[in-house]
A = this chain, B = another copy of it.
Amino acid sequence: MSVRILNTAEAGFDAALSELLAFESAQDPAVDTAVAAIVEDVKVRGDAALVEYTARFDRFTPASATALELTRTELETAFRRIPDATRIALEQAADRVRRYHQHQLSSSWSYVEDDGTLLGQQVTALDRVGIYVPGGKAAYPSSVLMNAMPAKVAGVGEIIMVVPTPGGERNDLVLAAAYLAGVDRAFTVGGAQAVAALAHGTETIPAVDKITGPGNAYVAAAKRRVFGVVGIDMVAGPSEILVICDGSTPADWIAMDLFSQAEHDEIAQAILLCPDAAFIDEVRASIERLLPTMPRRDIIAASLANRGALIQVADLAEACDISNRIAPEHLELSVADPEAWLPQLRHAGAIFMGRFTSESLGDYCAGPNHVLPTSRTARFASPLGVYDFQKRSSLIRVSEAGAQTLGRIASPLAHGEGLIAHARSAEMRLHD
| Least Cβ–Cβ distance between A404 and chain B, in angstroms | 9
Indicate if the CB atoms of A413 and B141 lie closer than 8 Å. yes
Given contacts A351-B122, A396-B353, contact A296 B421 (CB under 8 A): yes
Indicate if the CB atoms of A357 and B396 lie closer than 8 Å. yes
The stretch of A7-15, A161-169, A305-313, A366-374 in contact with B is: A366-374
Indicate if the CB atoms of B228 and A377 lie closer than 8 Å. yes
Indicate if the CB atoms of A410 and B356 lie closer than 8 Å. no
| Least Cβ–Cβ distance between A240 and chain B, in angstroms | 14
Given contacts A124-B346, A398-B366, contact A417 B353 (CB under 8 A): no
Indicate if the CB atoms of A119 and B100 lie closer than 8 Å. yes
| Least Cβ–Cβ distance between A372 and chain B, in angstroms | 7
CB-nearest residue of chain B to A397: B353
Interface residues of A in 353-369 (CB under 8 A from B): 353-354, 356-369
Indicate if the CB atoms of B362 and A394 lie closer than 8 Å. yes
In the complex, A58 has a CB within 8 A of chain B = no
Interface residues of A in 396-432 (CB under 8 A from B): 396-400, 402-403, 406-414, 416-426, 428-429
Indicate if the CB atoms of B141 and A380 lie closer than 8 Å. no
Indicate if the CB atoms of B403 and A365 lie closer than 8 Å. no
B-facing mask of A313-337, CB < 8 A → 1, else 0?
0000000000000000000000000
Indicate if the CB atoms of A111 and B103 lie closer than 8 Å. yes
CB-nearest residue of chain B to A99: B119
Q: Which of B122, B296, B379 contacts A420 (CB 8 A)?
A: B296
B-facing mask of A186-208, CB < 8 A → 1, else 0?
00000000000000000000000
Question: Chain A residues in contact with chain B, CB under 8 A?
Answer: 25, 82-83, 85-86, 89-90, 92-93, 96, 100, 103-104, 109, 111, 117-122, 124, 126-127, 139-142, 173, 209-210, 228, 230-231, 234-235, 250, 252-253, 256-257, 259-260, 262-264, 294-296, 300, 338-339, 342, 345-354, 356-369, 372, 375, 377-383, 385, 387, 391-400, 402-403, 406-414, 416-426, 428-429
Chain A to chain B contacts (Cβ below 8 Å), 18 pairs: A92-B409, A103-B120, A119-B367, A228-B235, A228-B377, A231-B377, A231-B381, A296-B420, A349-B393, A350-B393, A353-B397, A354-B399, A356-B398, A360-B423, A364-B426, A365-B406, A378-B391, A379-B391
